[in-house]
Amino acid sequence: MLLTGKRLLVTGVLTHGSIAWHSARVAQEQGAEIVLTGFGRGMRLTERAARRLSDPPDVLELDINDPAHMERLVSHLEQRWGTLDGALHAIAFAPEDALGGKFLTTPAESASLAFTTSAFSYKTLAVGLLPLFEKAGGGSLVTLDFDNSTQAWPAYDWMGVCKAALASVTRYLARDLGPYNVRVNAVSAGPLSTVAAKGIAGFERFRDVWNERAPLDWDTADPTPVANMICVMLSDFATKVTGEIIHVDAGFHAIATSNAPSQE
């Protein structure tokens, strides 16, 4: 199996429909031991989702913006395993006034919170876990991206800016963690009907444009293709891959315009 013997941290699990949950499911199916994280009022949902996995893992609380939480998490993992082989960063948040067509009126504090939680937090997680990766002789970090480097999307607003920043953070972390044999990558997923996505006004427009342009079929209700690639990137099959943004989007990113036949 792809991840036999691997010890992995999966952050940001909320429900059993999330990309993080499906990544945890596939990781277990491929032989990994896992620990999940949840946060605040969502902890009960995370614990409920954990019980739906074949081997229900422990759920630890992690507010990525609270240094004490990060310290407790690392301490727990060190006592449990001593080392760590990989982690999925599936953490993002933007206040309501930073989304849904409010780009021009978003206050600085809301944009700053979105950036700190959604992009800077990848660095926070990486630096916190680095001692555990060093003890393992290296490791792999994967984050969840959405292709925002060159395009502006309806309603995505400051989260789009944060995802573009996240891609850059990925590259800089790859540069600085390479000497520790730690790989840092991002998986850029097509639109999926997760709880987070449903909070974005106009999400159905993403689904519609994918149906028109992507050369392969794309099912917004199926996170499994994304979870599969995340597990590949966490495995030893990707030992020399770092600093990459891997697209799992049915080829949407590669196509300039609709594939629909013209009507004459």
Angle (CA) 61 193 29, round 5°: 60
Rg (CA), the chain: 18
3-state secondary structure of 74: helix
pLDDT at 151: 82
The answer to whether 155 touches 202, Cβ cutoff 8 Å, is yes
From CA 69, how far away is CA 55, in angstroms rounded?
A: 25
Closest CA to 166 of 117, 129, 110: 117
Count of positions (residues) in the chain: 264
**163 counts as catalytic:** yes
pLDDT at 258: 72
pLDDT at 62: 97
pTM above the 0.85 mark?
yes
pLDDT at 150: 73
- Amino acid type, 30: Q
In 214-260, where does DSSP find H-type helix?
A: 224-234
3-state secondary structure of 149: coil
For every residue of 179-198, which 3-state class applies, written as one string?
A: HHCEEEEEEEECCCCCHHHH
What domains appear along the chain, each with residue ranges and CATH number? 7-250 (3.40.50.720)
Q: What is the mean pLDDT of each run of 10 residues along the chain (264 residues)?
A: 97 94 98 96 95 97 97 98 98 94 97 98 98 98 85 89 96 98 96 66 69 89 96 97 96 80 54
**156 counts as catalytic:** yes
Catalytic residue among 163, 172, 180, 240: 163
In 137-202, where does DSSP find H-type helix?
A: 157-177, 195-198
Q: What CA–CA distances, in Å, run from 180 to 67, 77, 111, 129?
A: 23, 19, 32, 12
pLDDT at 95: 95
The answer to whether 6 touches 232, Cβ cutoff 8 Å, is no
Catalytic residue among 102, 122, 156, 240: 156
